[in-house]
Amino acid sequence: MTTPAGTGVVEIADLVVRYGSAVALDGVSLSAGRGEMVALLGPNGAGKSTLADTLSGILTPASGTVEVGGRLAHIPEGRQLFPDLSVEDNLRLGGWRSRRRDPAQVYELLPQLAAIRRRLAGVLSGGEQQMVAFGRALMSRPDVLVVDELSLGLAPIVTRDLARHLTQLNAEHGLTVLLIEQNARLAFDVCERAYVLEAGRIVAEGPCAELAESPRVARAYLGGSIEETRK
């Protein structure tokens, strides 16, 4: 699925973001259509989290444009829960601005959370914390969900379960997803298109199936040539 310029729910054009004199993003452009799942790949320090923070309004760009057609929710890298609050209180905080603080709908979507709703977030496993971060983001009933490093620090089986929830939410609710990942295999499995960000610039983009066939992408992000990864 190709999203023509100017028709996406998320539209970023010629984005430049600086930290003082250091340029973190240098002329970045990307888009995501309604109901589309798009991946942003790149190594540590490439500027992926900077882009997520700019989309969320945490950072102000030096130049360029950022447009989001609807309500955006951001699952930050490291989850950033309130460890001394219960799961349910963390969820309610996600609905603070919308004043929709009843988590019943989130419990229907993510029934695992109902069973642990009274537990403190700080004592949960990494996978449970990521699930709470999902639920907290969904409390705002977003049109766009930005997920920063879904797989970070999680066991593969936990990551697969979370990815399944993400694709289910996309399929059943038409949620537009921008998945920011270092794990290219995961990103290519769940997303239709992807962008590759290196040193603050987009160096490749296209359908995931085509990017997986690229020797450069396969070597850098899949551990070898595409023929080698199939063995």
pLDDT digits (tens, 9 = 90+) for 189-200: 999 999 999 999
Query: Tell me, what's the pLDDT at 98?
Result: 66
Query: Tell me, what's the pLDDT at 96?
Result: 79
Query: Tell me, what's the pLDDT at 7?
Result: 47
Domain presence at residue 51: yes
Domain presence at residue 120: yes
What whole-number distance in Å separates Cα of residue 25 and Cα of residue 7? 23
Query: Tell me, what's the pLDDT at 165?
Result: 85
pLDDT score of 6 more than 60: no
Q: For 142-161, how does the pLDDT look when each residue is reduced to its tens digit (9 = 90+)?
A: 999 999 988 877 788 888 88
Domain presence at residue 84: yes
**HSE on the CB side for 28, CA within 13 Å?**
33
Q: For 99-118, how does the pLDDT look when each residue is reduced to its tens digit (9 = 90+)?
A: 677 899 899 888 889 999 99
- The CATH number covering residue 85 comes to 3.40.50.300
pLDDT band at residue 5 under the 50/70/90 scheme: very low
Mean pLDDT of the 117-137 span? 92
More confident residue, 96 or 36: 36
Domain presence at residue 3: no
What whole-number distance in Å separates Cα of residue 222 and Cα of residue 216? 10
Supply the pTM of this predicted model.
0.85
Domain presence at residue 180: yes
The chain-wide mean pLDDT, for the chain, equals 87
pLDDT score of 127 more than 70: yes
Q: For 10-48, how does the pLDDT look when each residue is reduced to its tens digit (9 = 90+)?
A: 999 999 999 999 999 999 999 999 999 999 999 889 999
Domain presence at residue 23: no
How many domains does the structure of the chain reveal? 1
Query: Tell me, what's the pLDDT at 65?
Result: 96
**HSE on the CB side for 206, CA within 13 Å?**
9
Domain presence at residue 29: no
Query: Containing domain of residue 42, as a range?
Result: 34-57+70-229
Domain presence at residue 11: no
